[in-house]
Amino acid sequence: MPSTLCFRLLFILIMLPVSGFAQEKYLALDKPGRVKRIRFYAGDEIALKLKGDKRLHEEVIGDIGDSTITLLGTEIPLRDIRAIVIRHEGGLVQQAVRKLPIAGVLYFLAATFNPLLQDQPLAVKPVRADSRWGNGSRGTTAQTPAQADLPDQ
């Protein structure tokens, strides 16, 4: 019997600190749609607009109280929040639509100006109609002097 009492006391002492961590405060945003509730915890980034202010504030939540949140050491009452802005990163296709044109422009600029940065002048060489990269039309390509000296294949 004393071992059972000791075991129960040990179990209570171990579980007591665990139950203290389970009750972390969060700010819940209920909304219509597929995801009904969004939870914001301390340390999460939030974008919000305040009443009487047209600016969008994007800050990290410092602390969450019963009726306030703390941003950059300033307590803001929940009644002063006009809107919370939710940004969705979207899927892979939506991200690619935004990022690929920028990557293409950067790649074009790097390919164009890299020979100039390497102190190599641009050389223009005619392209043969039977070139394996050509489409049968005659044209010119920009090449470095090292590429221009290579024998045609």
DSSP the chain: -HHHHHHHHHHHHHHHHHHHHT---EEEEE-SSSS-EEEEETT-EEEEEETT--SEEEEEEEEE-SSEEEETTEEEEGGGEEEEE------HHHHHHHHHHHHHHHHHHHHHHHHHHTT---EEEEEPTT-SSS-S--EEEEE-HHHHTSPP-
Determine the pLDDT at residue 112. Answer: 80
Residues 45, 84: Cα–Cα separation, whole Å? 11
- Please give the model's pTM, rounded to 2 decimal places: 0.46
* Of the residues 85, 104, 133, the one at which a domain ends: 85
Q: Are residues 75 and 116 in the same domain?
A: no
Domain of residue 110: give its range.
Answer: 92-148
Q: Are residues 62 and 103 in the same domain?
A: no
In a domain? residue 153: no
Least confident of 74-83, 103-112, 142-151: 142-151
Residues 138, 130: Cα–Cα separation, whole Å? 9
Portion of the chain with pLDDT greater than 90, in percent: 14
Any idea how long the chain is?
153
Residues 72, 63: Cα–Cα separation, whole Å? 10
Q: Residue 118: which pLDDT band, with cuts at 50, 70 and 90?
A: confident
Q: How many domains does the chain have?
A: 2
Residues 63, 49: Cα–Cα separation, whole Å? 18
Q: Are residues 80 and 27 in the same domain?
A: yes
For residue 26, give both structure tokens. 């969060």
In a domain? residue 141: yes
Q: Are residues 122 and 101 in the same domain?
A: yes
